[in-house]
Amino acid sequence: MRIRLYLVIPLILAITAIASPKQELPRPQHALGFQVGEDYKLADWEEIVSYFHSLDAASDRIMVQELGKTTMGNPFILAIISSSYNLKNLERYRQIQQRLADPRELSPQEAERLIAEGKTIVLITCSIHSTEIASSQMSMELAYRLASEDSPQVKEILDNVIFLLVPSLNPDGIIMVTDWYRKTLGTPYEGTSPPYLYHKYVGHDNNRDWYMITQQETKLAVEKIHNVWHPQIVYDMHQMGSRGARLFVPPFIDPIEPNVDPLLQTEIVWMGSAIASELIAQGKSGVVMASIYDGWTPARAYQHYHGGIRILTEAASARLASPIKVSWDQLAEEGRGYNAKKSTWNFPLPWKGGEWHLRDIVDYELIAAFACLRHAARNRDRWLTNFYTISKRAVERKEPPFAFLVPLEQDDLPTAIAMLQVLRKGMVEIHQAIEPFTADGIPYPAGTYVIPLTQPYGSYAKTLLEVQHYPVRYQYPGGPPLPPYDTTAHTLPLLMGVKTITVMSPFTAKMEPLEEILLPKGKVIGGTAKYAYLLSHQSNNSVLAVNRLLKDGYKVYWSTDDATVDRQFFPAGTVVIPQADELDTKIKTLASELGLNFFSINKALPARGYLLKTPRIGLYKSWSASVNEGWTRWILEQWEFPYQSLYDNGVREGKLTEKFDVIILPDQSPSAIINGIPPGRYPPEYCGGMGKSGVDNLKQWVYSGGTLIALNSASQLPIEHFWLPVRNSLEGVPQNKFAAPGSILKVVVDRLHPIAYGYPRETNVMFWRGLAFELSGGSAVATYPPANPLLSGWIMGAEHLCQKGALVDLPLGKGRVILFGFRMPYRAQSYATFKLLFNALYYGTAALTTLP
Ligand SMILES: [Zn+2]
């Protein structure tokens, strides 16, 4: 009976397989009702996802996985494309890749066998920037051709490559953009970008999140694709402006971040020039290499530190799916590294101008994708050998620095843990000492976190933990500097305010590897309090505790004076929570969940205090969308601050006192805030900014008690319109006299000012298109030191900042204006400055009183 059953089941399966052959492959144009890239037509996300599923159902060369949901709850999908044999043995190939990525337990003979057997892993990601929409459309045709064609070219690719295709790294944005396009098609606004961020929180900055990994889409891509497959080749498809080259292809220009393995740097050149050559062979003009984009920041290049190349192409844009016409005369002559009208080695075949359609972009991208896949297939052994070589070099590293140490003794341990968790997301191996040890002659206690650099992703850890010395380049000897494409500094310990030690000589320590970095639980010191619980203001998590306590109706104070109780020093700003009903349990929960220590005291603290209340926060949101608004919103939500978005019409309407205690103007130019989008370019409801009436209402509201917080360039608005006793001393300083583009600088804080409560004497800020305040009234909360403030990155003309205000508090009428002259909350990375913003939010409503 049993035997028979064994025989019957495979037989049934075999019959089913024969009886129901895969359905016929659906062509994109049949599924969509139009050709991919057709003028005025865009497939939306539902159509794209459903098309990929239908290909999966009909082909044994493609397998579609939903990796999870996006920020707004939409499916995030990955298509795996290869020969049916490879797909059946996918797990085997994944393991090969895994073993080559970490060759510590691998003999050279075995490595050779694995290289012979393994496949090149290629990841192509589309339309992370959702208005750069062509590649999301192209992805369907690319998948269809790989699934349907039987040419030698396709066979070679399918046999040698495991191709991971992400039709969009930001599906929510595809939905927003296709909705907007369809709504405005045939109107005067056709082809414009939506007047809001195309990612719920971070808009265009979703492509600057590749080491901090804060957003859901980055998490899915890193955890479920990069860290699983370790692709040798990652190709990210973008679009740029319309008046220059038709397609940018690597190599990148200098500087390349020095921790990117030199072999990998040559691979970028190798692949990039192969793609360019293929395009030109097929008669595609306007291809430019070695221009515009540098290879400095790791924020866009996760794979450069994980054994693979990360290349991008940038195609000239149409107006979404609407064609444009660019004449020869309209082409830009001043490109970064080329002239669109002149043939040079890196731009050998200029485009002559004319019409430019969505389909043109699709065509260029298809050729580029096939060139990339063919290169990966034809040079399979080379890509695998190089991948192994890079991994092997990493695990055999023998030069200083040897490790980074993160001690448990921190001003803000939960933030130190957050930093370690960021590294861990990038597969960095982190250990914890189980016995005391000595490194560079200095003793360290058990419990110290150790990040040895001799590990597969040691260069990733090193890049993020060390100080950057940006190799500035000049336009010509003695000429103005070339600005970096992005920022110049990314030192996480400085950005986050975490004490980290570099070890320069070999050492031994008894330690255990940590799979997960857990936040150590906090304690309640001194048992049940008779009078109050005290909490240090140093940790960012203390803000979470305060918000949760206020939400539950408890009274919370900041002490205004330094005080000593039971020989324990409590500096000004210490959080005081007077004993109340059911408070003991609440405090225990907070201590445990947030890793905070509470101190119980049995008699009143000899100090005055600010009684805190939850501020009614308005976060200004312009239709001329600001990415900084999105990041600020993200940060407010992460730290559980309730807020309302405040739009132009809300500001113009006035009655702000009834609704808000504090209003934040995110980093945005005053003209964008005041004038917004010029009339005529968008539907009228999005045009016009807050206008003069809005500015007057804001000023009036401050006079009657409101607190206005302006971030970075928005500071210029109250400076220009409120007659404040302050000027921006960088105004009018020419670009060749001062620059600090995305650099980390030191500031000295007035720790007795409530906005600086919880800070030591100094902290670090991210300076980027910032301001420096010269005061003739009010007070400076943070000031640049008398000497060069540079900590990481690059600065020119540091003297322009010396002793100028970085963060100032300016009372005005019954209210106040608080100006931040640096980038806040810089891509959710500048933890070292978060509390300055959080304190400023409370400060607006805090009432000075005696402690109960
Ligand atoms: Zn882009």
Digit-coded pLDDT (tens) for 148-196: 999 999 999 999 999 999 999 999 999 999 999 999 999 999 999 999 9
Output the CA 169–ligand 1 centroid distance in Å: 11
Question: Which residues on adjacent β-strands are paired with residue 575?
Answer: 535, 558
Q: What is the pLDDT, as a whole number, of residue 8?
A: 41
Q: What pLDDT does residue 852 have? A: 85
H-helix or E-strand spanning residue 427: none
Distance 649 CA to ligand 1 centre (A): 31
CA of 217 to the centre of ligand 1 (A): 16
315 CA distance to ligand 1 centroid (A)? 9
Alpha helices in 347-457 (DSSP H): 358-378, 380-395, 413-425
**Residue 313 pairs with which residues in a beta bridge?**
237
Ligand 1 centroid, distance to 653 Cα (angstroms): 36
Task: Using the mean position of ligand 1's atoms as its centre, give its distance from the Cα of residue 470 in Å.
Answer: 24
pLDDT at position 19: 42
Q: What separation in Å is there between the alpha carbon of 486 and the centre of ligand 1?
A: 13
Distance 103 CA to ligand 1 centre (A): 35
pLDDT at 99 over 50: yes
pLDDT of residue 1: 36
Distance CA 138, CA 734 (A): 44
> 240 CA distance to ligand 1 centroid (A)?
7
Q: Ligand 1 mean position to 168 CA, how many Å?
A: 12
Residue 248's nearest CA partner among 204, 313, 184, 151 is: 313
Amino acid at 267: E
Mean pLDDT of 74-93: 98
The string of DSSP codes covering 290-356 is S-S-EE--GGG-GGGGTTSEEEEEEEEP-BTTB-EEE-GGGS-S--SS--TTS-BTTB-S----EEE
CA of 799 to the centre of ligand 1 (A): 36
Q: Rounded to whole angstroms, how far apart are CA atoms 150 and 141?
A: 15
Ligand 1 center from residue 236 Cα (angstroms): 9
> What are the beta bridge partners of residue 764?
746
As a dihedral over the C-alpha atoms of residue 168, residue 170, residue 171, residue 175, rounded to 10 degrees, the angle is -120
pLDDT tens string 500-550: 999 999 999 999 999 999 999 999 999 999 999 999 999 999 999 999 999
The residues facing 729 across adjacent strands are none
Q: How far is the CA of 154 from the centre of ligand 1 (A)?
A: 28
Q: Where are the alpha helices (DSSP H) in 595-685?
A: 627-638, 648-653, 656-659, 670-675
In contact, 782 and 819? CB cutoff 8 Å: no
Average pLDDT over residues 424-446: 98
Binning pLDDT at 50, 70 and 90, where does residue 621 land?
very high
Distance from residue 602's CA to the centre of ligand 1 (Å): 59
Nearby residues of 239 by Cβ (< 8 Å), 6 or more positions away: 129, 131, 132, 133, 134, 314, 315, 316, 317, 361
* Cβ atoms within 10 Å of 749's Cβ, excluding its own: 22
Q: Looking at the DSSP assignment, which residues form a beta bridge with residue 435?
A: none
Give me ligand 1 centre to Cα 243, in Å. Answer: 16
| Averaged pLDDT for residues 734-742 | 92
Report the separation in Å between the CA atom of 627 and the middle of ligand 1, taken as the mean of its atom positions.
Answer: 14
Give residue 548 CA to ligand 1 midpoint distance, Å.
39
For the chain, give the number of residues.
852
Q: What mean pLDDT do residues 297-318 have?
A: 97
Give the number of other CB atoms < 10 A from CB of residue 395.
17
Note the maximum CA span of the chain. 97
Q: How far apart are CA 586 and CA 578, in angstroms?
A: 13
Our CA angle for 769, 772, 777, nearest 5°, is: 145
The owner of tokens 């109780």 is 565
Mean pLDDT calculated for residue range 22-37: 92
Of all helices (H) and strands (E), which one includes residue 484?
none
- Ligand 1 center–CA 428 separation, angstroms: 28
Expressed in angstroms and rounded, the spacing between residue 127 Cα and the centre of ligand 1 is: 7
What pLDDT does residue 480 have? 84
Phi and psi (nearest 5°) for 152?
A: -60, -35
Residue 728 and residue 770 in contact, taking contact as beta carbons nearer than 8 Å: no
What is the distance in A from the centroid of ligand 1 to the CA of 421?
28
* Residues 443-482 pLDDT 10s: 999 999 999 999 999 999 999 999 999 999 888 887 888 8
CA of residue 130 to ligand 1 center, whole Å: 8
Q: How many CB atoms lie within 10 A of CB 784?
A: 26
Residue 659: pLDDT band with limits 50, 70, 90: very high
Mean confidence (pLDDT) of the chain: 95
Considering the chain, what percentage of its residues have pLDDT values greater than 70?
Answer: 97
Distance in Å, CA 29 to ligand 1 centroid? 26
Provide, rounded to the nearest whole percent, the portion of the chain with pLDDT above 90: 93
Distance from the CA of 209 to the center of ligand 1, in angstroms? 13
d(CA 457, ligand 1 centre) in Å: 27
Ligand 1 center to residue 11 CA distance, Å? 52
pLDDT average, residue stretch 248-273: 97
The rounded Å distance from CA 374 to ligand 1 centre is 24
Q: State in Å: Cα 239 to ligand 1 middle.
A: 5
User: Which residue pairs, CB below 8 angstroms and at least 24 apart, start in 53-58?
Assistant: 54/26, 55/25, 55/26, 55/79, 55/143, 55/144, 55/147, 57/22, 57/23, 58/22, 58/23, 58/24, 58/25, 58/26, 58/147
Ligand 1 center from residue 365 Cα (angstroms): 14
Q: Which residues contact 468 (CB under 8 A, 6 or more apart)?
A: 488, 489, 490, 491, 792, 793, 794
Provide mean pLDDT across the span 650-679. 97
- How many angstroms does the Cα of residue 128 sit away from the middle of ligand 1? 7
Q: How far is the CA of 377 from the centre of ligand 1 (A)?
A: 27
pLDDT at 538: 98
- Looking up tokens 């400060």, which residue turns up? 843
Q: What confidence tier does 588 reach under pLDDT thresholds 50, 70, 90?
A: very high
Q: Is the pLDDT of residue 34 over 70?
A: yes
Ligand 1 centroid, distance to 203 Cα (angstroms):
11
- Which H or E run contains 690? none
Q: Which two tokens stand for residue 695?
A: 């500015």
| CA dihedral angle for residue 11, residue 13, residue 19, residue 23, rounded to 10 degrees | -160
Residues 6+ apart with CB under 8 A from 745: 764, 765, 767, 784, 789, 790, 791, 795, 801, 806, 822
pLDDT band of 22, cuts 50, 70, 90 = low
Q: What pLDDT is stored for residue 523 in this prediction?
A: 97
CA of 811 to the centre of ligand 1 (A): 42
Give the pLDDT confidence score for residue 476 in this predicted structure: 83
Two tokens, residue 120:
């090149």
User: Cα separation of 177 and 188, whole Å?
Assistant: 16
The average pLDDT across 101-111 equals: 96
What pLDDT is stored for residue 147 in this prediction?
98
Contact 572, 751 (CB under 8 A): yes
Note the helical H segments in 500-604.
541-551, 583-594
pLDDT band at 15 (very low <50, low <70, confident <90, very high): very low
320 CA from centroid of ligand 1 (Å): 13
Task: Label residue 21 exposed, middle or buried (CB < 10 Å: 0-12, 13-18, 19+).
Answer: exposed
pLDDT beyond 80 at 393? yes
Give the angle 124-489-491 at the CA atoms, nearest 5°. Answer: 95
The Cα-based distances of 78 to 226, 324, 715 in angstroms read 12, 32, 43
Cα(294) to ligand 1 centroid in Å equals 14
Question: b/e map of 610-647 (b: 16 or more CB within 10 Å)?
Answer: bbbebbbbbbbbbbbbbbbbbbbbbbbeebebebeebb
Residue for token pair 């694709």: 225
> CA-CA distance, 768 to 764, in Å (whole number)?
13
- Crossing angle of helices 262-281 and 358-378, rounded to 10°: 130
Region for 504 from its dihedrals, namely left if φ exceeds 0, alpha if ψ lies in -120 to 50, beta otherwise: alpha
Amino acid identity of residue 149, one-letter, is E
Residue 5 has pLDDT above 80, yes or no: no
Interval between CA 632 and ligand 1 midpoint (Å): 22
| Model pLDDT, residue 834 | 98
Residues 6+ apart with CB under 8 A from 726: 719, 773, 774, 775, 776, 777, 778, 805, 808, 810, 819
The encoded tokens of residue 96 equal: 């090969």
Ligand 1 midpoint to CA 681 (Å): 22
Residue 717 C-alpha to ligand 1 middle, in angstroms? Answer: 30
Q: Return d(Cα 513, Cα 433) in angstroms, integer.
A: 9
Cα–ligand 1 centroid distance for 312 (angstroms): 9
Pairing of strands 779-783, 762-767: unpaired
The predicted-structure confidence for 537-587, as pLDDT tens digits, reads as follows 999 999 999 999 999 999 999 999 999 988 889 999 999 999 999 999 999
Is the confidence at residue 792, as pLDDT, over 90?
A: yes
| Over residues 368-383, mean pLDDT | 98
- Give me ligand 1 centre to Cα 378, in Å: 29
Q: How far is the CA of 32 from the centre of ligand 1 (A)?
A: 25
Distance 552 CA to ligand 1 centre (A): 44
What is the mean predicted confidence (pLDDT) over 777-786? 98
Cα 129 to middle of ligand 1, angstroms: 5
Q: What's the CA-to-centroid distance between 175 and ligand 1, angstroms?
A: 17
Give the CA dihedral 143, 149, 154, 157, nearest 10 degrees: 40
How many A from CA of 207 to the centre of ligand 1?
8
Q: Is 421 helix (H, G, I), strand (E, B) or coil?
A: helix
Interval between CA 237 and ligand 1 midpoint (Å) = 7
Ligand 1 centre distance from Cα of residue 204 (Å): 7
Question: Taking the alpha carbons of 735, 736, 740, 746 in that order, is the dihedral positive or negative?
Answer: negative
pLDDT of residue 574: 97
Task: Name 406's bridge partners.
Answer: 449
| C-alpha 662: how far from chain center | 27
Q: Which amino acid is it at 255?
A: P
Instruction: Give residue 311 CA to ligand 1 midpoint distance, Å.
Output: 12
Choose the weakest-confidence range: 44-53, 211-220, 229-238, 727-736.
727-736
Is residue 12 pLDDT above 70, yes or no? no
